[in-house]
Amino acid sequence: MKVAFFNTKSYDRQSFNSANEQHQHEIIFFESHLSHETVSLAVGFSTVCIFINDYLDAEILEKLAHGGTKLIALRSAGFNHVDLVAANKFEIAIVRVPAYSPFAVAEHAAALILSLNRKVHRAYNRVREGNFSIEGLLGFDLHGATVGVIGTGRIGAIFSQIMYGFGCKLLGYDAYQNTVCLKLGMEYVSMSELFAKSDIISLHCPLTAESHHLINAEAIAQMKHGVMLINTSRGGLIDTQAAIDSLKSGAIGYLGIDVYEQEADLFFEDLSSQVIQDDTFQRLLTFPNVIVTGHQAFFTSEALANIAETTLSNISEFEQTGDCANAIKIDKAIASK
Ligand code: NAD
C-alpha cells in the first residue's frame, strides 16, 4: 500500500526500511508532524502512519478522508490522540501496536525509581565536578517498601515483577485482577487505600476521559507525605500544577515522569538553543527531587523492531482482508469512554 509516514526520525526510517524488506509497501517518510498545515501532503495516500504527538481531530480526519485515506496506522499502543467518533464518521479504520516491548516501559519506570531514590542524577553531576560529598544523597531500601500499581495490564504486570524482585510489597488498582500480579502476592485494593498505603505509586493505565487528572490535589492529599510518584503512561494522568504545589509543600517527595500533559510542544525535538516558553514545565525542572525524561520509556531496539514489524503487518492485513486484528473497535472504544 502507499503509506505516508509523518513525524519520522532517523531511527524510525531505519527500523521501518529494514522491516519493509518483507512487506514491500510504498513508503514516503515525512519529518513533519501531521497537522492542519501538513495534512495536504497525505492526499492520494490510502494509508497514513502517525506517532503519539500527531493529533487527529475531526477537521484533519475529514481532509484525510477527502484525500483518499482509508487507514490510519498508529505507531503506538495509546490512541488518546485520535478523535474516534470522527474517524468512525469518515469511515477511516485505525490500527495500532497493542504491545511492542512492555519490558522497555516497565524497566524505565524502575530506572526512574532507582535514580530518584539514590539520587543518581545529582551524584553524577557532583562527582564530575570533584565533589565527593554524600550529604543530601540519602536513599531508602526498596526492600520492604510498598509499591502501588495503578493499571495492572501488560506493562503494570512486568513492572510488578521487577519490584517484587526488589522485595517490595505490591498493591494494585484495576478493574481486572491480573493473575501474574496475584501470583506475586499483589493485593488489589481501592484507589483510596492504594494512595494511603503506598510509598511509591506508579501509573500504568491508559489516558481516558475517566483517568484524566487521576492524580490531582484531592488524590495527593490521600497519599503518604513524601510519596514517590512515577508516570510512564500519559501526561494527562497527572494535574501538573497540583504536582508542583505538592512538591513545594513536600507532600510529593519524589516525582519521576517520562510523559507530560503539554509534551506535544516539547518532546522529541532538540530545543536546546531555544527559550522554552512553558513555565509550568520549567518550574518542574527546578526541583532536585524531580526527574523528567522526554517520552523515551519505549525506546529500546527491541521495541523499535516490534513497532515496525507490527505496523507493517497491520497494513498488509488490512490491505488483504479489509480488517485487522489490531484495529481499534471504534464503537466499543467510544462506549468505554
Ligand atoms: P494494557 O491495556 O495492557 O493495560 C492497561 C491496564 O489499565 C488494563 O489492565 C486496564 O484495565 C487498566 N485501566 C484502564 N483504566 C484504568 C483506570 N482508570 N484505573 C486503573 N486501571 C485502569 O496497557 P499497557 O500495554 O500495559 O500500557 C499501559 C499504558 O502505558 C498505555 O496506555 C500507554 O499510555 C503507556 N505507554 C507508555 C509508553 C512510553 O513510552 N512512555 C509506551 C507504551 C505505553
* pLDDT mean for each 10 residues of the chain (337 residues): 96 97 96 96 97 93 97 93 95 94 96 98 98 98 98 98 98 98 98 98 96 98 98 97 98 98 92 96 98 97 96 97 93 60
- At 259 the three-state DSSP class reads coil
291: left (phi over 0), alpha (psi -120 to 50) or beta: beta
- Virtual torsion, Cα 213, 97, 106, 225, nearest 10 deg: 0
Give the active site residues.
Answer: 234, 263, 295
Q: Is 109 in the pocket of ligand 1 (CB under 6 A)?
A: no
Atom of ligand 1 nearest to the CA of 176: 11
Q: Tell me, what's the pLDDT at 197?
A: 98
pLDDT of residue 17: 97
Ligand 1 centroid to Cα of residue 300, in Å, is 18
Q: How far apart are CA 112 and CA 267, in angstroms?
A: 18
pLDDT of 316 reads 97
Ligand 1 centroid – CA 37 distance (Å): 31
Architecture in CATH for domain 102-292: 3-Layer(aba) Sandwich (3.40)
Among 31, 336, 20, 26, which Cα is nearest to 207's?
336
Residue-level pLDDT at 187: 98
Atom of ligand 1 nearest to the CA of 259: 41
CB of 210 shorter than 6 A to ligand 1: yes
Ligand 1 and 172: CB distance under 6 A? no
Q: With a 6 A CB cut-off, is 206 part of the ligand 1 pocket? A: yes
Question: What is the reported pLDDT for 264?
Answer: 87
Q: What is the pLDDT of residue 336?
A: 54
**Is 257 near ligand 1, meaning CB less than 6 Å away?**
no
Contact 209 CB / ligand 1 (< 6 Å): no
Q: Which helix (H) or strand (E) holds 161?
A: helix 154-165
Domain boundaries, the chain: 2-100+301-335, 102-292
Cβ distance 280 to 262 under 8 Å?
yes
The answer to whether the beta carbons of residues 314 and 328 sit under 8 Å apart is no
Tell me how far the alpha carbon of residue 268 lies from the centroid of ligand 1, in angstroms: 21
Q: CATH for 2-100+301-335, among 3.40.720.10, 3.90.550.10, 3.40.50.300, 3.40.50.720?
A: 3.40.50.720
Classify residue 312 as exposed, middle or buried by CB count within 10 Å of its CB (0-12, 13-18, 19+).
Answer: buried
Give the pTM. 0.92
CA of 236 to the centre of ligand 1 (A): 13
Residue with CA at minimum distance from ligand 1 atom 4: 153
Helices 301-321 and 10-23 cross at an angle (nearest 10°) of 40
